[in-house]
Amino acid sequence: MSLNLNEVFGGIGEVLSEEQKQRGILIHAFQQIQEEHNYLPQEEIEKLSKELDLPMSFIFSTATFYKQFYFTPRGKKILRICTGTACHVRGADKVLHSLEDEFNVKEGETTADLSMTLETVGCIGCCGLAPVATVNENIVGEIDAKKLDLIVDNINNDTALTSDDE
């Protein structure tokens, strides 16, 4: 990865110090690295530290400040189970535990084959469809045994969920 700081910052780059430019590019660099690798590998962080001449401690403290950056590989499918009040009342715990058992992972973990990462979120914003989950950007509402099977099949067969599946 080669960064031309003057190109990135344009006209404002004329008033920024070199250190400000280097620090200012970090989030953009993290996003590029994570888009390519699906997480921030140690080797890439070390290269970034050398290229920007910034200490590893600064690089890590910046990356860990943001919840969107990950230091371990993530699954191809990110499965998020809503645990908000409506979803909790309507059985989100059962959905979560079924998926943990099915894929032999716990919340926050990724399957060994990197097919799926299982996470929980406080609210997806679809309370009327509780219990709700997302598979990447696709929302699955009113999860019952049939929809749970669809989610599992989607992950196991590496297919995309569509609105027709619901």
For the chain, 166 residues long, give each residue's pLDDT as a single digit of tens.
Answer: 555 555 554 454 454 456 656 667 888 899 999 999 999 999 999 999 998 888 999 999 999 999 899 999 999 999 999 999 999 999 999 999 999 999 999 999 999 999 999 999 999 999 999 999 999 989 999 999 999 999 999 999 888 776 555 5
Read off the DSSP letter of residue 12: G
Q: Which fold has domain 77-157?
A: Glutaredoxin (3.40.30)
pTM metric for this prediction: 0.76
3-state SS, 87-148, equals HHHCCHHHHHHHHHHHHCCCCCCECCCCCEEEEEECCCCCHHHCCCEEECCEEECCCCHHHH
With beta carbons less than 8 A apart as the criterion, state whether 135 and 161 touch: yes
Read off the DSSP letter of residue 14: G
At residue 75, what are phi and psi to the nearest 5 degrees? -70, 160
CATH 3.40.30.10 in the chain is located at 77-157
CA dist 104 and 101 (Å) reads 5
SS3 content of the chain, % helix, strand, coil (to 5): 50, 10, 35
Map tokens 């979803």 to a residue: 87
